[in-house]
Structure 1
Amino acid sequence: MESLLRCPLCAQPLDRQDTRYLCPRGHSFDRAAAGYVHLLPANKLHSKDPGDDKAMAAARNRFLSGGYYDPLRDALTRLALAYAPDRAQILDAGCGEGYYSAALFQALLQAGKHPRMAGVDLSKHALRRAAKRQGSIEFAVASVYDLPVADQQIDLLVNCFSPLALEEFLRVLRPGGLYCYVVPGARHLWELKQVLYDTPYPNEEKETPYPGLSYQEIQAVDGTIHLPDTQAILDLFQMTPYFWKTPRQGALRLAGLPQLDTTISFRIHVFRKQDRP
């Protein structure tokens, strides 16, 4: 079966087989037992175990499975149903453990739109969980800066809190294709930040026009979540960039909390790729 993915070595189409992916030039990539494929060439592997490690992937899975970010998931599925054409080819760039990928795929499938979907991430630990969550999606270890996807192939590209690889995204999107870019709102996790930092500051919110893309809308998703125990609080903390740059005292304060109510605030920037530059 022809894959939505392409060979990372020669850019030829890949044939998706039971235990491997194979291109016409003979490049072969084994499918892991969990169902994902490794398409990050060794010369572009900048660390032995890139992306989220095993503990971080487990924390993200526990947190998202708890439903705390369901409002964002639901907003993304509504946008996909509104914008995606029938038989859409979809890419989740920086898909993590597949929480949003699976929801989008399932919603489109139930609507009779017959999607094809792939997700890429650097973390094999996250992709193990993603492939188990939704086996009909192709998941691959790959970089968003070097996507194993053909030119102008994607109808809908989703990017939740992952790096903005604009040149690659424009390359793989079809003319008229949609790009959904999820970023934090000004007061996202504000109460958590108040525990971590003495003087927290809000995130910057702005419209950013990008060459080759035209704005369709910006959808706001706001609410409050209740984290009932220390485990849920620390799982969320591990998902954030604050995990890497918080002073020790702030992290200790957070670890001492028995529960926490905090704001969630997302902005989904929806763009359409222009037919002409």
Structure 2
Amino acid sequence: MSNNEKLLKKAQKLSIHEKMFQCPICSGAMKVERMASLECENRHCYDISRQGYVNLLNQTPRTKYDKALFEARKKISGSGFFGPMVEAVTSRLIQAMKSRESRKSVRLLDAGCGEGSHLSAILRKLREQRMVPDVLGVGMDIAKEGIVTAAKTSPDPIWCVADLSQSPFADQQFDYILNILSPSNYSEFRRLLTSDGMLVKVIPGSMYLQELRALFYTGTGKETYSNDGTMELFIRHFERIEFDELRYRVILDSNQMKQLIHMTPLSWSISPEVIERMPDGEMEVTADFTLLYGWI
């Protein structure tokens, strides 16, 4: 399939779901025009890129999330580091979808999707289940480099560069929202969810990457982490909540450790000299997650 054919196919998919969108500037309804752009009733226009994603930002944000970081995160995802977490999220979604079997199709938004690895893996696993509805996956992130990587490697979902505080979607468009290791905007989540929709938020547990914290932050008071504040904020915004805790250990080789260090914000305030003192060879690393589920 040529690039033009791929772009046309993506534009056609956007056209089918164009009522899902609203203009991030004026909140006006949007339509796909000339199979090349999303345009609102007030003529605010957003081009569909040749990779098939739509950039709905009005200005370029300053961010440390660059191409190298997303490439590192993709490699770590490919190593299976996040595998048990993805399995746990998928299982919970399957359970929820089977309780709503009357739905022929559902929409799943990954808010803060990064390079798209989690959403792509979850969609693949969901579609292996014959008993769940047809799922439209939508990924959004404020970092363009992440969305470019996602669109190149997994063309099936709808990918958008967008700001969660001005999300380009109309009210009550999503049955499920994922928010995995990413900042939240609960007022937007409540606006975007259907009346019986569910938010799945994944946050680090207290032992998450404890080995890196010990190496980077010994003697600084940052060796430990608490997610209590995040959990309290989550609880305040939902009528009904559930949560699971998931902890496991993964052995990474020296190259994978370099990728892990590059992908995590834990390393942003650390000098290159400290990183260079990391021991060579394999290292066992702790993955620790709290999975939060919320209903309006």
8 Å Cα contact 2:214-2:223 kept in structure 1: no
Match of 1:239 among 263, 280, 285: 263
Structure 1: which 5+ runs fail to align? none
Counterparts of residues 12-91 of structure 1 (less than 5 Å): 12-16=28-32, 18-42=35-59, 45-47=60-62, 50=63, 52-84=65-97, 85=100, 86=103, 87-91=105-109
Distance 1:61 1:137 in 2: 17
8 Å Cα contact 1:8-1:39 kept in structure 2: yes
The CA deviation string for residues 129-149 of structure 1, in whole angstroms up to 9 with x for no partner, is: 212333221111111111111
Counterparts of residues 171-182 of structure 1 (less than 5 Å): 171-182=191-202
Match of 1:101 among 96, 107, 119: 119
Cα distance, 1:126 vs. partner? 1.1
User: Could you tell me which residue of structure 1 aligns to residue 214 of structure 2?
Assistant: 194
Distance 1:184 1:124 in 2: 24
Structure 1 runs of 4+ with >4 Å offset: none
8 Å Cα contact 1:196-1:253 kept in structure 2: no
Match of 1:204 among 222, 226, 243: 226
Once the two structures are aligned, what percentage of the paired residues are identical? 26
User: Could you tell me which residue of structure 1 aligns to residue 5 of structure 2?
Assistant: none
User: Could you tell me which residue of structure 1 aligns to residue 176 of structure 2?
Assistant: 156
Cα distance, 1:11 vs. partner? 2.1
> Is 1:265 matched with 2:288?
yes
Distance 1:51 1:35 in 2: 24
> Is 1:253 matched with 2:243?
no
Q: Pick which of 160-169 and 79-88 moved more.
A: 79-88
Query: 3-state SS of the aligned residue for 1:90?
Result: strand
User: Could you tell me which residue of structure 2 aligns to residue 228 of structure 1?
Assistant: 253
Cα distance, 1:16 vs. partner? 4.3
Distance 2:28 2:156 in 1: 22
Q: Pick which of 261-270 and 82-91 moved more.
A: 82-91
The CA deviation string for residues 146-202 of structure 1, in whole angstroms up to 9 with x for no partner, is: 111111222111101111211211121122210111111111111122222224533
Distance 2:153 2:239 in 1: 33
Structure 1 residues 21 and 110, CA gap change in structure 2 (3 angstroms): farther
The CA deviation string for residues 199-252 of structure 1, in whole angstroms up to 9 with x for no partner, is: 4533214342544413432112211111112x2112111222212122554322
Distance 1:228 1:253 in 2: 16
Cα distance, 1:60 vs. partner? 1.1
Q: Which amino acid aligns with 2:159?
A: F
Q: Pick which of 211-220 and 165-174 moved more.
A: 211-220
The TM-score with structure 1 as length reference comes to: 0.88
Higher helix share: 2
8 Å Cα contact 2:179-2:201 kept in structure 1: yes
Distance 1:132 1:16 in 2: 21
The CA deviation string for residues 58-100 of structure 1, in whole angstroms up to 9 with x for no partner, is: 1111111111111111111111111234312211110001111
Distance 2:51 2:187 in 1: 31
Structure 2: which 5+ runs fail to align? 1-14
Q: Pick which of 122-131 and 108-117 moved more.
A: 108-117
8 Å Cα contact 2:217-2:223 kept in structure 1: no
**How many residues get paired?**
267
> Is 1:216 matched with 2:236?
no
Query: 3-state SS of the aligned residue for 1:201?
Result: coil
Distance 1:15 1:77 in 2: 32
Q: Which amino acid aligns with 1:36?
A: Y
Distance 1:23 1:115 in 2: 26
